[in-house]
A and B are shown apart, each in its own frame.
Chain A
Amino acid sequence: MYQLFQFISRQKAFILFTFLEVLSLWFFYSYNNYPNAIFFNTSNYYAAKALGTSNSIREYSNLRDVNTELASENSRLNATIAKLQAQQLDKSIVNYKADSNVASRFKFVVAKVLGLTTTQFNNYITIDKGSADGLTPGMGVMSSTGVVGKIKSCNEHFSVLISILHSEYSVSAKLKSNNEIGSVKWKGVNPDIVEMTEVSRYKTVNIKDTIVTSDFNYVFPPNIIIGYVKKVGVKPDQTFHEIDVQLATNFHTLAYVYVINNKLLGEQKALEEKSGDVKIK
């Protein structure tokens, strides 16, 4: 008996080795076994957490490329939505068919914001696309969350935009709920709030109503979000509501914008100007 223990103690390294080796091989060859699969693979909770952290560090370094990809995907989707929305008008009015050229007249160009201000009385935004990319002054600009402004002037590679936070810039807007037309303009102090005017006080306006671009814009497709109603007030002797609109776009963190190229803008403007000259007998 004593010699057995002596033998074991002399050979203990070998015995331990054999035991552990057989154990690992058993783990390996019985990988179909349910309890082993649960314990030993990477879905083990702590392993997963550690790998999750190291993966998120690696993902962080890819963010710039992911952002660029998302912005260009967005511009493509926006163009599709504008086209489909215009075509959808078909269904509600009998016998009305939208001209396919008119429906697909909006094309979206992605641009990155290079500089912007929100604190001055008249604020401008600089973007990195210019006439080399087909931009011309007067084109409307929006972000993924709403209206931003319109192009003031273009260089070959850069453009300056009048942002909606400009005391002289107004956008034709409508209430999404009842299609009431009004005009949206910045009051000049708070970069998150704009004012909507010309909505008759006899129409109902509720808090949190959506304000979108109307169909009467040259440069914006209809139904682009401008903001949400924050406060409605009316003085007794006025005919219009005083509506405060919370802007849907956060101008402090604006990074990517989409310039809206209305291919039929020249035609529409020229026709309206010419009609102004025609004499009515």
Chain B
Amino acid sequence: MTPKSIVSQILIFVFYLLLQIFFVRQLVLFDYAFCFVYVASIILLPFEINKMTLILLGFVAGITVDIFYNTIGANAASMTLIAFVRPAVIGVLAPQRGYDERQTLSLNSMGLSWFITYATTLIFIHHFVLFLLEASDWELFFPVMLKVICSTIFTTIIVVIIQFFRRD
């Protein structure tokens, strides 16, 4: 990884966090679909990043968003979880001949169906943990699941749309 690409990765990471905190926070559809586009900051890190860095970055992203959302630790918990689970999911979704050395983790290079499956899985796990922690009440299970599904769809759509704007 060249220094230039490291810098651009950091910028992309910070971009998704800022997008989340300042713009998307107010974006709620029909009271059920919330958008947590900062998940993309972890999902879209390159394939070759090592696990320790990934988990640490997930924790940092989660804590930062927590500070602004007033949910002390729920985002951090779910982000750390998907950071840990991400390599496993990538392994499960490996195409038949394994991943190419030079492939970047983006829509253009991996194809729509792979990308949507990958993003939806991680986003679903994230939202599931997040909303379950927030609700903390098993009585509310059905509305929580509804929230999770609607928000997953919404966030995935936004992440895919942002992908269309990338150049590589």
Chain A residues with a Cβ under 8 A of chain B: 12-14, 16-17, 20-21, 23-29, 31, 36-37, 40-42, 44, 47, 50-51, 54
Contacts and interface: CB of A to CB of B under 8 A. Distances in A.
A44 B70 CA distance: 10
Interface stretch (B54-62, B99-107, B144-152): B54-62
Nearest to B26: A58
Nearest to A14: B84
B83 A28 contact: no
Contacts of A13: 51-52, 55, 84
Contact of B80 (A17, A40, A41): A17
A17 B55 contact: yes
Given A17-B83, A42-B68, A51-B68, A25 B77 contact: yes
Given A12-B52, A40-B73, A21 B81 contact: yes
B72 A16 contact: no
A16 B81 contact: no
B55 A20 contact: yes
Given A28-B73, A54-B22, A20 B59 contact: yes
Contacts of A40: 63, 66-67, 72-73
Contact of A20 (B21, B67, B72, B80): B80
Contacts, number: 74
B159 interface: no
Contact of B72 (A14, A17, A21, A28): A28
A28 B55 contact: no
Interface in B51-98: 51-52, 55-56, 58-59, 62-63, 66-68, 70-74, 76-77, 80-81, 83-84
Interface string B121-157: 0000000000001000000000000000000000000
Given A13-B55, A16-B52, A21 B80 contact: yes
A16 B133 contact: no
B84 A24 contact: no
Contact of B73 (A26, A47, A51): A26
15 contacts: A13-B84, A17-B80, A23-B76, A24-B74, A27-B66, A27-B73, A28-B72, A28-B73, A28-B133, A40-B66, A40-B72, A41-B72, A42-B67, A42-B70, A50-B22
A13 B73 CA distance: 20
B67 A47 contact: yes
- Nearest 8 pairs of A and B residues by beta carbon: A27-B73, A28-B73, A24-B76, A13-B51, A24-B77, A17-B84, A40-B72, A24-B73
Given A20-B80, A40-B66, A40-B67, A25 B73 contact: yes
Contacts of A37: 72
Given A23-B76, A28-B71, A54-B22, 5 more contacts: A16-B51, A16-B52, A21-B80, A41-B67, A42-B67
Contacts of A50: 21-22
A27 B67 contact: no
Contacts of A54: 22
A47 B68 contact: yes
Contacts of B77: 21, 24-25, 28
A36 B133 CA distance: 17
Contacts of B56: 16, 20
A27 B73 CA distance: 5
A28 B77 CA distance: 9
B22 to A, nearest CB: 5
Contacts of A21: 77, 80-81, 84
Nearest to B51: A13
Contacts of A20: 55-56, 58-59, 76, 80
Contacts of A36: 72
Nearest to B75: A24
A44 B83 CA distance: 26
A46 to B, nearest CB: 9
A59 to B, nearest CB: 14
B74 A28 contact: yes
B167 to A, nearest CB: 28
Contacts of A42: 67-68, 70
A25 B77 CA distance: 6
Nearest to A37: B72
